[in-house]
A = this chain, B = another copy of it.
Amino acid sequence: MFRHIVLLKWTDDAGEEQKAEVFRRLSELPGAIPEIRRYEFGPDAGLADDNFDAAAVADFDSPEDYVVYRDHPVHIAAIKESIVPILAQRVAIQYEL
């Protein structure tokens, strides 16, 4: 398996509705992108002050399938329309499981 992780930090003025919209849009991706084998995302649980605000972990059969997801128009639209407007910082990694 091949895993993609992205951690996101929101702007100080990001609204609760905007944050919820991100997860709504992410929840649509497994139905739109069959290459996704496992997809788990959520808001930070609040146990540490310096944590990032949201995480998404996506597992694929191969790096090639990850690239299909990365470049998929439904994914790109979710990023542009729900994430970018409230994004302060983004950190990512991909690795073999």
Q: How many monomers of this protein are in the complex?
A: 2
Given A45-B63, A63-B47, A92-B48, verify A55-B97 contact (CB < 8 Å). Answer: no
Residues of A in contact with B, size category: 20 to 34
Q: Which residues of B contact A15 (CB under 8 A)?
A: none
A57-B66 Cα distance, complex, nearest whole Å: 18
Q: Chain A 28-49 against B: per-residue CB contact (8 Å), 1 yes, 0 no?
A: 0000000000001111110110
Does A94 have its Cβ within 8 Å of any Cβ on chain B?
A: yes
- Chain A positions within 8 Å of B, measured between CB atoms, are 2-3, 5, 7, 40-45, 47-48, 50-55, 57, 63, 66-67, 91-97
Chain A to chain B: the 9 pairs with minimum beta-carbon distance, closest first: A42-B95, A55-B93, A45-B94, A91-B91, A52-B93, A44-B93, A51-B93, A47-B94, A7-B91
